[in-house]
């Protein structure tokens, strides 16, 4: 039998995981050995008879868990992007074990005693700023994890963490199952009127794969809104599609959400906070529940008013079809009509200008070259985690190799919805590792032989995720704890949002937006109309986002002991109380499929997107108005912010770029909320 490939560091370039050798049966033994190894490493730290030093305690801790990290990054990527029943089982087994493992380290009294001793004497240790920060952050993390609690409280905490981890996995697996179960099956192509021929062929193919030969199947994205709603002319089909989307998963996940909210509230109280939200934001740049609530409250009124103005405009157009009142399932459809009629922008006409390969190379990579001097070489000799995923080597302007970028762009049934970035290898001067980063998207596969044409939103997503990738690639820190995107959640979306600006920069757009058949460039007039049409949708987009945010906020500001009996009822009350209940604009995610907050680390942190956008809008304005060449601005942004990761206070990094504290004006202007 060959040895488990996780047991040794990879010998491939950049320590790229040896995907060609990894089998499903390798994960569980690697996890088990990885956790055992790290506990042994911790035991060696605490058994050291020498007095605690920064080296023998903090650095040793930072170096520990190498095998566990190796398997965990690969597994998390695999189970998100190409899962199987076996991987689902492994995940269900491993996630509570990981929670137990985390507690075993953070509730280790001997380890904490050493860290505390160093923390107490930190002023005299002669540490450089990044090392001092490592000590402070580690100390804080132990405190936040309950290191100071008594025995009985720690035992309760361990129980809460393990149960929450298991529930989070179940929630996610229920979402996946609900997405599969809630597809809309249609009998005739006529019901799909409005969709392109390609999309109809795709729905037929989808039906064949899912065992509904001769019918048509529309699959669901994980958001409330579904792309087909913008095109389907049959109102009743739209209604059924949206109902399938909004109704999925509630029986299974409603009770889980209730239980998780209760457990989180209890844990927060145990750790000295009035609510889970208070516990979470204490470690974010926002700092307090009040600060977040204040920003949200300031946005709700203008956003709702804006959405109502848009609804009136939609109603005017819909009246011609005999539609008296705009329902949620009408919104996207009539928005498209308004875009066509008022702005002369037609999504179907745009698509041919956004061919994936061109958008990637002549858009995303081109912009990274303009701003940062990067170049990219595909490495077909390196194997990624799936045949669809492509590996690129990234080079600096002077030819120095920087890292690897992996792109996994296409949707498949085994991939979870949405788009994200991951780090397979994190940059660290301590370990000598260079970054390997990954972007995952869900761009539908075209019919065989057809080009991959993207929507405007998909193009934006590609630029967005690549902004996260740059954050990982540019990391230049000593300690893995601070590497790349390891910043607070309410900061991490900021660099990725900033990267979206390149999508519409005239010199970039002109370079990539070319008709795939004729090579014709997207005309500047059309670009201007698109931008105007973008402004039109802001009311809807802001309200659906804020509704999801306030829903997250409601679930996680409940105090311990508050009884919730019905998740849907709770949701309705929460939205109404926050003033964000607009019938025709459902939240971007409803409770039952809100995986960000119940399955992936964004609990009480969904606000992070708009919080980050304050910094984003402000920075874009700085890029455009500072009078320096783009390449020079890029260098400042890279050096002072992207490269720093979490090795210094993120807001200090922001100030180092823009020259002052963030201001909300640019965001309000962008979102039409002034």
What residues are annotated to the active site?
465
**In the stretch 395-414, what mask flags binding to Zn ion with x, by CB under 5 A?**
--------------------
- Is the CB of 271 or the CB of 406 nearer to Zn ion? 406
Q: Quick one: which of 596, 614, 604 has its CA closest to 662?
A: 614
In sequence order, what are the residues at sequence separation of 6 or more whose Cβ sits closer than 8 angstroms to the Cβ of residue 273? 279, 282
Region of 50-58, 120-128, 494-502, 578-586 interacting with Zn ion (CB under 5 A)? 494-502
- Is the CB of 78 or the CB of 499 nearer to Zn ion? 499
In sequence order, what are the residues at sequence separation of 6 or more whose Cβ sits closer than 8 angstroms to the Cβ of residue 44? 60
- Coil, strand or helix: which one is 216? strand
Q: What are phi and psi of 402, to 5 degrees?
A: -105, -40
Region of 88-96, 280-288, 486-494, 536-544 interacting with Zn ion (CB under 5 A)? 486-494
253 contacts Zn ion (rule: CB under 5 A): no
The C-alpha R_g of the chain, in whole angstroms, comes to: 25
- Is the CB of 223 or the CB of 496 nearer to Zn ion? 496
Least separation in angstroms between residue 493's CB and Zn ion is 5
**DSSP letters along 280-342, please?**
HHTTSSS-SHHHHHHHHHHHHHHHHHHHHHHHHHHHHHHGGGT--S--HHHHHHHHHHHHHHH
Region of 2-10, 150-158, 225-233, 487-495 interacting with Zn ion (CB under 5 A)? 487-495
Per the CB < 8 A criterion, the answer to whether 65 and 428 are in contact is: no
**In the stretch 75-114, what mask flags binding to Zn ion with x, by CB under 5 A?**
----------------------------------------
Least separation in angstroms between residue 305's CB and Zn ion is 28
Tell me the C-alpha to C-alpha distance, in Å, between residue 254 and each of 297, 505, 565, 566, 569: 26, 44, 9, 7, 10
Region of 285-293, 295-303, 437-445, 491-499 interacting with Zn ion (CB under 5 A)? 491-499
Region of 385-393, 488-496, 584-592, 596-604 interacting with Zn ion (CB under 5 A)? 488-496
Among 219, 231, 293, 496, interactor with Zn ion by CB under 5 A: 496
Least separation in angstroms between residue 563's CB and Zn ion is 35
Per the CB < 8 A criterion, the answer to whether 270 and 157 are in contact is: yes
- Is the CB of 355 or the CB of 493 nearer to Zn ion? 493
Region of 101-109, 336-344, 485-493, 582-590 interacting with Zn ion (CB under 5 A)? 485-493
Least separation in angstroms between residue 489's CB and Zn ion is 10
Count CA within 13 A, CB hemisphere, residue 531: 13
When CB distances to Zn ion are compared, the closest residue is 496
What is d(CA 531, CA 529) in angstroms, rounded to the nearest whole number?
5
Q: Is 484 left (phi over 0), alpha (psi -120 to 50) or beta?
A: left
Residue tagged 């192509």 (tokens): 189
Q: Quick one: which of 347, 344, 343 has its CA closest to 333?
A: 347
- Is the CB of 147 or the CB of 364 nearer to Zn ion? 364
440 contacts Zn ion (rule: CB under 5 A): no
Total residues binding Zn ion (CB under 5 A): 2
- Is the CB of 108 or the CB of 493 nearer to Zn ion? 493
Q: Which residues partner with 377 through β-bridges?
A: 393
Kind and range of the H or E element at 656?
Answer: helix 650-658
- Is the CB of 143 or the CB of 493 nearer to Zn ion? 493
What is d(CA 317, CA 542) in angstroms, rounded to the nearest whole number?
22
Per the CB < 8 A criterion, the answer to whether 623 and 636 are in contact is: no
Region of 128-136, 359-367, 492-500, 539-547 interacting with Zn ion (CB under 5 A)? 492-500
What is d(CA 87, CA 82) in angstroms, rounded to the nearest whole number?
9
**In the stretch 124-153, what mask flags binding to Zn ion with x, by CB under 5 A?**
------------------------------
Least separation in angstroms between residue 421's CB and Zn ion is 7
- Is the CB of 56 or the CB of 221 nearer to Zn ion? 221
**DSSP letters along 346-394, please?**
-HHHHGGG-BHHHIIIIIIIHHHHHHH--EEEE-TTS--SSTT-EEEEE
Least separation in angstroms between residue 316's CB and Zn ion is 35
Least separation in angstroms between residue 468's CB and Zn ion is 6
Least separation in angstroms between residue 343's CB and Zn ion is 27
Least separation in angstroms between residue 464's CB and Zn ion is 6
Strand 420-425 versus strand 184-186 pairing type: unpaired
Strands, E, within 194-241: which ranges?
216-218
- Is the CB of 334 or the CB of 491 nearer to Zn ion? 491
Interface contacts to Zn ion, rule CB under 5 A: 493, 496
């Amino acid at each position: 039998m060959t040895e488990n490939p996780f047991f040794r560091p990879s010998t491939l370039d950049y320590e790229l995981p040896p995907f060609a050798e990894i089998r499903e049966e390798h994960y569980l033994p690697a996890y088990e050995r990885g956790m055992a190894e790290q506990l042994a490493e911790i035991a060696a730290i605490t058994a050291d008879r020498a007095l605690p030093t920064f080296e023998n305690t903090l650095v040793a801790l930072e170096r520990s868990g190498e095998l566990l990290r190796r398997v965990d990054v690969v597994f998390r990527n695999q189970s998100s992007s190409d899962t199987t029943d076996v991987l689902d089982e492994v995940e269900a087994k491993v996630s509570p074990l990981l929670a137990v493992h985390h507690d075993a380290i953070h509730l280790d009294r001997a380890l904490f005693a050493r860290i505390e001793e160093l923390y107490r004497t930190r002023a005299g240790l002669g540490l450089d700023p990044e090392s001092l920060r490592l000590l402070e952050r580690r100390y804080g993390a132990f405190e936040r994890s309950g290191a100071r609690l008594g025995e009985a409280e720690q035992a309760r905490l361990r129980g809460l963490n393990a149960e929450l981890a298991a529930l989070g996995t179940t929630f996610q697996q229920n979402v996946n199952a609900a997405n599969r179960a809630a597809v809309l099956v249609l009998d005739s192509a006529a019901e799909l009127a409005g969709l392109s021929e390609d999309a109809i062929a795709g729905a037929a193919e989808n039906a064949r794969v899912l065992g509904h030969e001769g019918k048509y199947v529309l699959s669901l994205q994980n958001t409330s809104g579904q792309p087909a709603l913008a095109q389907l002319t049959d109102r009743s089909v739209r209604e059924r599609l949206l109902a399938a989307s909004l109704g999925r998963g509630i029986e299974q996940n409603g009770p889980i959400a209730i239980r998780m909210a209760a457990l989180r509230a209890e844990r927060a109280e145990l750790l000295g906070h009035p609510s889970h939200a208070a516990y979470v934001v204490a470690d974010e740049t926002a700092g307090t529940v009040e600060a977040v609530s204040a920003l949200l409250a300031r946005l709700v009124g203008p956003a709702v008013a804006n959405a109502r103005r848009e609804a009136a405009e939609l109603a005017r157009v819909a009246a011609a079809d005999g539609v008296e009142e705009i329902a949620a399932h009408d919104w996207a459809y009539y928005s498209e009509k308004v875009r066509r009629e008022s702005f002369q922008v037609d999504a179907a006409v745009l698509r041919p200008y956004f061919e994936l390969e061109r958008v990637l190379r002549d858009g995303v990579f081109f912009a990274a070259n303009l701003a940062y001097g990067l170049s990219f070489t595909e490495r077909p000799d390196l194997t990624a985690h799936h045949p669809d995923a492509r590996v690129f080597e990234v080079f600096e302007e002077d030819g120095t190799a920087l890292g690897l970028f992996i792109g996994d762009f296409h949707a498949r049934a085994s991939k979870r919805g949405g788009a994200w970035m991951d780090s397979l290898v994190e940059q660290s001067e301590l370990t000598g590792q260079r970054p390997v980063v990954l972007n995952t998207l869900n761009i539908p596969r075209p019919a065989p032989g057809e080009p991959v044409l993207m929507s405007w939103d998909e193009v934006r997503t590609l630029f967005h995720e690549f902004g996260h990738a740059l954050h990982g690639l540019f990391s230049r820190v000593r300690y893995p704890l601070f590497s790349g995107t390891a910043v607070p959640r309410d900061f991490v979306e900021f660099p990725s949002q900033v990267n979206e600006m390149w999508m519409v920069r005239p010199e970039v757009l002109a370079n990539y937006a070319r008709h795939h058949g004729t090579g014709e460039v997207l005309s500047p007039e059309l670009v201007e109309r698109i931008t105007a049409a973008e402004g039109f949708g802001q009311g809807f987009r802001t309200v659906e986002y804020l509704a999801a945010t306030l829903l997250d906020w409601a679930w996680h500001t409940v105090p311990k002991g508050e009884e919730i009996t019905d998740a849907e009822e709770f949701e309705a009350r929460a939205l109404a109380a926050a003033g964000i209940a607009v019938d025709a604009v459902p939240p971007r995610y409803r409770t039952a499929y809100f995986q960000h907050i119940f399955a992936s680390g964004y609990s009480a942190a969904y606000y992070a997107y708009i919080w980050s956008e304050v910094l984003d809008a402000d920075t874009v304005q700085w890029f455009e108005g500072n009078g320096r060449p783009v390449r020079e601005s890029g260098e400042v942004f890279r050096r002072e912010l992207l490269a720093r990761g979490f090795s210094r206070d993120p807001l200090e990094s922001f100030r180092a770029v823009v020259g002052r504290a963030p201001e909300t004006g640019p965001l309000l202007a962008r979102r039409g909320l002034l």
